[in-house]
Structure 1
Amino acid sequence: MVLFVTGTCRKACWYCPLSKERKGHDRVYANEKCIATPGDAVAEARRMSALGTGVTGGEPLDKLDRVVEYCRALKRELGPGHQIHLYTALAPTRDQLERLSGLVDEIRLHPPHDQWETIAQSDFIASARLAKHMGFVTGIEVPSLPGMDLLEAALPYLDFLNINELEWGESNAEEMRRRGMVPEDGVHNAVMGAREWGAGLCSHQKVHWCSSGFKDSVQLRKRLLRIARNTARPFDEVTEDGTVVYGLVEGLGEVPEIIRELGDDGYELREEGLETAWWILAEHGDEISGTRYIVERYPDRGIIVEVTPL
């Protein structure tokens, strides 16, 4: 699960991909759902059978009390085996690390680009060494930018270095253009050249590369599949991409006999209309009045992907 604890941050990294909807706003999200309490976060984790949680932002350490409250609830309700890692663009102090001890298992540091040239002498490495001594798994996670090789000096002090392929977004597009960067193609968000900037470090055992395509086609897909399998109704069809497909009838006077025969689990009446298995509407359209559609959407009443009239 992705636990987004705040959209506020004291840094101003030009490459930040955070959406305008979240950037600068002090809201909490569990995956795509805006939430209000630690109990909401636990419920979302259970909904998707999450084995762990990534705490992110904005800057999570600027809301340390909130991070502690939410992580304590997740550990208490889901058990100590629920792995929690935290991203931060700050160098955590001893006091901050002590408050996170036993609640957060892994610290993922994000040193800003302008500090890479002196990374070995930075507060980030001092903090990484302290965190490792206190029992945290500790590493650096950054986007692939020009000058990636400068981070090689940090490797002796880390458990890992994660490189994420630099992505074009609505909030960083202007800065990207100012630096002469362009998208790799018209389909993905990856920036041209990003793969080459990180290539030199990827031969190191501690270095891991995460492509833009992997995030979209694997990470998001797996999360959606877990949610869909836990929340799909008996008549929903779960696709290989983790979306759900069902039939919708609008303007229906009464439930047709062909649908009533399916039983209570075979359909649902909602404000939008009657929802049931899509194939029923496709195969028995002559027995069903009203306007019929096939709907594909993210699970648990998520974003609608496509609506196809029948």
Structure 2
Amino acid sequence: MTLSRGCILCHQGAKLVLFVTGRCHRTCWYCPLSSERKGTDTVYANDRPVDIPSQIIEEAENMSALGTGVTGGEPLLCLDKVTAYCRLLKEHFGPEHQIHLYTGKAPTDEELAAMQGLVDEIRLHPPQECWEKIAETDYIISAQHAKAMGFDIGIEVPALPGLEHLAAALPYLDFLNINELEWGDTNAYAMRERGYELADNLHNAIEGAKGWAEELCRHEKVHWCSSAFKDSVQLRERLKRIAENTARPFDEITEDGTIVYGVLEFGEDGDASAEILKRELEPGSFEVFSDRIELPWWILTESSTDVKGNKYVIERYPNGGMIVELTPV
């Protein structure tokens, strides 16, 4: 099995995820896109909303990104935005910054020409209803034209019944990726309606999805991407890269790429303790805000009886990301 260049970088957690639009011309029942993003034109670099293009570069630098995955919604509905962002990334990081793009469309020659030299790898997502006659669709014509124009070309789809029909597309592709079908908030009703259930209580994978892919996965061009891998490897490695670049001297980086630190809130009891801590701690080993002081978590736990006020330990995604756990001390 030969992984695409884009997949190799994803495995390393080295790909910026650039979400360019939540709009889409299709209504796939299994779409996992959150209600917050679906139908909107808000741009996200990883999980950060983007107001100005320079924030894309900033987020890519925060994780020492070696490439970018452009996704949506349907990115080709805002082709001008895609080409502008990809040009920005290529000019800043150099032509070796690998960019792949997901699309549910069969790109036209005009769309392909607009992306030449900016997008390296195109991942087509033909709808399930056309798999049985995939060789007769515009997706294969588009794949042939893309390959002739110098793109790496593949198909990427979720594991659904009928996957075996996509074998007919393999001669025209560099790769075919199958993602384990996942349960989400926005597709839960459709999953229940079809009688699908979770495979276990640890991940969002659907029972039986791997079996639908089994036959096709025997081919050397086909790669299976499990729900567990996305959670436990891909995301973790990306978080580690961000944490290594953005963690403060007193943040502890965990094996999962999250950061841990202590918080003491100001107030009647906390003010006096905060003043003592500021005098005792080394410069750079704490940060003061209007309502709190943040410092090494072990300082709070080791001197919990001496430090008065509301205090707790926070574990969160790096660079101001989502809070994973808040533990009172």
Q: TM-score, length-normalised on structure 2?
A: 0.92
SS state of the match for residue 216, structure 2? coil
Q: In the aligned structure 2, how far is the partner of 1:305 from the partner of 1:68? A: 35
Counterpart of 2:202 (choices 183, 187, 190) is 187
Supply the AA of the counterpart residue of 1:131.
A
Counterpart of 1:202 in 2: which secondary structure? Answer: helix
Helix, strand or coil for the counterpart of 2:100?
strand
Cα deviation 1:62-113 (Å, max 9, x = unaligned): 0000001100000011111110000000000111111100000000000011
Alignment-derived partner of residue 162 in structure 1: 177
Give 5+ residue unaligned stretches, structure 2.
1-15
SS at match of 1:184: coil
Identity of aligned residues (%): 60
Match of residue 153, structure 2, among 129, 135, 138: 138
Match of 1:276 in 2: 295
Q: How many residues align?
A: 310
Shift of 1:282: 1.1
Match of 1:253 among 261, 268, 271: 271
| 1:80 matched to 2:95 | yes
Question: Deviation at 1:224?
Answer: 0.7
CA distance in 2, matches of 1:19, 1:224: 21
Three-state SS of the structure 1 residue aligned to 2:217 is coil
Structure 1 residue 296 and structure 2 residue 315: aligned? Answer: yes
Deviation of 1:272 after TM superposition, in Å, equals 4.2
Aligned letter for 1:43? E
Q: Provide the secondary structure at the position in 1 that maps to 2:44.
A: strand
**1:3-82 pair list within 5 angstroms:** 3-82=18-97
Superposition CA RMSD, Å: 1.1
What's the secondary structure of 1:266's corresponding residue? coil
Matches within 5 A, 1:171-186: 171-186=186-201
Alignment of 1:124-135 (within 5 A): 124-135=139-150
CA contact (8 A) 1:258 1:287 kept: no
Any idea what the Cα deviations from partners look like across 1:255-284, whole Å, max 9, x if unmatched? 344443332211001234110000111112
Q: Distance in 2 between the 1:176 and 1:61 partners?
A: 28
Match for residue 137 of structure 2?
122
Tell me the alpha carbon deviations over residues 36-86 of structure 1, each in whole angstroms, 9 at most, x when there is no partner. Answer: 222111111001111110000000000000001100000011111110000
Counterpart in the other structure of 1:309: 328
Higher relative contact order by CA 8 Å / sep ≥ 6: 1 or 2? 2
Q: 1:49 to 1:219 in 2, by over 3 A?
A: same
1:111 aligns with 2:126: yes
Relative to the length of structure 1, the TM-score reads 0.98
